[in-house]
């Protein structure tokens, strides 16, 4: 591999992106507008749906069984009691009901938890209070918004661009130069990774100044998650662009890949209580692991051992997709 040719290809791709003012502006402005919109829309605390974790089911003869018929309350089956107590503490669920032992846990600072506790008062259950700093919806959604922006930038910034090069004959001309396929693809990956990290850092700082969202973990660990997540997305774009010659086909395929990830990876809402099939499908998407790891670091202050499984999965995605994409890549 020639370092000089790699740097030349990398510099050419960077200049092409920077000169496209529309794409650059869209990557910077869109996520900021989304975060500000959600911060405004969900700042009133007037959502109607309550979430209650349910550990075990009471006997139908017990009075508390009537509480399970309450409308507008989403009862989520619970297997790990300690884990759900932590979610009560972080305001991720409003109340945890242990139907086996006639007790419940509620966050003493939660308005929703207070109302649910009043509904439970006639049943004379034993209550245990937990307290924690409230996690706003914007604190929860910001990793998803940044992850979504990374996904679109990686998929279309690599997949669509390489297909356009192939259709316009650029790859055919590059094939006649000493530039190898490995050097060209490495330059494309490095260029897009550099742009994603730079743009995401700017967006992160900008939205933090406006919204002041929660971040209690390590910034270096968050950067590592960003890099591995971006590489996994770039590798998916490379896989799409390996052989396709039509921009229309590439655009359709990239949308077919990106929309399920945006809907099923927990960008906008938690998959708690969703169908198990949906949860298993979400685990097959790289965006899910990137967002989950980022939320653990930002909201819970998780360390590298806590997100090791997500980091390994993202690395595995990258290795598999890059290998297949590079093996099937063609210039013409």
pLDDT digits (tens, 9 = 90+) for 21-59: 665 565 566 666 666 655 554 454 444 568 888 887 766
Q: In 10 A of CB 33, how many CB atoms?
A: 11
Work out the percent of the chain whose per-residue pLDDT is above 70: 83
> What is the CB-side half-sphere exposure of residue 100 using CA atoms within 13 A?
8
Average pLDDT over residues 8-30: 67
Report the pLDDT value the prediction gives residue 37, as an integer from 0 to 100.
58
Gap between the Cα atoms of 234 and 231, Å rounded? 5
pLDDT band at 220 (very low <50, low <70, confident <90, very high): very high
27-33 contacts: CB < 8 A, separation 24 or more? 27/149, 27/153, 27/195, 27/199, 28/199, 28/202, 28/203, 30/149, 31/145, 31/146, 31/148, 31/149, 31/203, 31/207, 32/203, 32/206, 32/207, 32/210
Average pLDDT over residues 249-266: 76
Residue pair 125/107 in contact (Cβ under 8 Å)? The answer is no
Task: Classify burial at 79, counting beta carbons within 10 Å of its beta carbon; exposed 0-12, middle 13-18, buried 19 or more.
Answer: exposed
Residue 98 has pLDDT above 60, yes or no: yes
Report the pLDDT value the prediction gives residue 35, as an integer from 0 to 100.
60
Residue 305 has pLDDT above 60, yes or no: yes
Query: Please, what is the Cα angle at 74 between 70 and 78, to 5 degrees?
Result: 115
Work out the percent of the chain whose per-residue pLDDT is above 90: 5
Report the pLDDT value the prediction gives residue 312, as an integer from 0 to 100.
93
Average pLDDT over residues 144-165: 83
Task: Classify burial at 206, counting beta carbons within 10 Å of its beta carbon; exposed 0-12, middle 13-18, buried 19 or more.
Answer: middle
Gap between the Cα atoms of 71 and 198, Å rounded? 47
Residue 325 has pLDDT above 90, yes or no: no
Q: Which residue has the higher pLDDT, 132 or 206?
A: 206
Q: Which of 132-141, 153-162, 284-293 has the highest mean pLDDT?
A: 284-293
Average pLDDT over residues 304-308: 89
> What is the CB-side half-sphere exposure of residue 292 using CA atoms within 13 A?
22
Average pLDDT over residues 5-34: 67
Q: Which residue has the higher pLDDT, 247 or 280?
A: 280
Report the pLDDT value the prediction gives residue 1, as an integer from 0 to 100.
65
Average pLDDT over residues 239-246: 76
Query: Please, what is the Cα angle at 185 between 179 and 191, to 5 degrees?
Result: 110
3 state DSSP class of 54: strand
Report the pLDDT value the prediction gives residue 266, as an integer from 0 to 100.
76
Q: Which residue has the higher pLDDT, 312 or 164?
A: 312
Gap between the Cα atoms of 92 and 133, Å rounded? 11
- Among 146-150, 211-215, 250-254, 279-283, the range scoring the smallest mean pLDDT is 250-254
Residue 319 has pLDDT above 70, yes or no: yes
Provide the whole-model pTM: 0.68
Residue 174 has pLDDT above 50, yes or no: yes
Q: What is the mean pLDDT of the chain?
A: 78
């Amino acid at each position: 591999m020639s370092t000089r040719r790699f740097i030349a290809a990398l510099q050419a791709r960077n200049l092409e992106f920077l000169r496209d003012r529309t794409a650059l502006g869209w990557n910077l402005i869109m996520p900021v507008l989304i975060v500000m919109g959600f911060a405004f829309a969900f700042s009133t605390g007037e959502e109607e749906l309550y979430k209650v974790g349910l550990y075990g089911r009471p006997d139908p003869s017990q009075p508390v069984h009537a509480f399970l018929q309450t409308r507008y309350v989403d009862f989520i089956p619970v297997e790990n009691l300690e884990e759900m107590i932590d979610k009560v503490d972080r305001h991720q669920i409003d109340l945890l009901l242990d139907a086996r032992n006639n007790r419940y846990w509620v966050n003493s600072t939660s308005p929703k938890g207070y109302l649910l506790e009043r509904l439970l008062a006639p049943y004379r259950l034993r209550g245990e209070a937990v307290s924690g700093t409230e996690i706003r919806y914007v604190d929860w959604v910001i990793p998803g918004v940044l992850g979504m922006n990374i996904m679109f930038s990686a998929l279309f910034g690599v997949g669509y661009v390489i297909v356009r090069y192939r259709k316009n004959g650029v790859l055919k001309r590059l094939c006649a130069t000493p530039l190898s396929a490995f050097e060209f693809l490495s330059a494309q990956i490095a260029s897009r990774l550099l742009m994603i990290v730079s743009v995401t850092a700017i967006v992160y700082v900008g939205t933090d100044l406006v919204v002041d969202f929660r971040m209690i973990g390590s910034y270096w660990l968050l950067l590592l998650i960003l890099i591995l997540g971006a590489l996994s997305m770039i590798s998916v774009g490379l896989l799409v662009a390996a052989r396709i010659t039509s921009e229309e086909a590439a655009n359709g395929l990239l949308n077919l890949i990106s929309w399920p990830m945006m809907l099923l990876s927990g960008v906008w809402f938690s998959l708690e209580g969703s169908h198990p099939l949906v949860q298993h499908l979400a685990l097959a998407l790289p965006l899910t692991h990137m967002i989950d790891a980022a939320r653990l670091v930002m909201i819970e202050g998780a360390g590298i051992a806590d997100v090791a499984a997500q980091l390994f999965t993202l690395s595995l995605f990258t290795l598999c997709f890059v290998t297949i994409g590079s093996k099937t890549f063609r210039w013409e």
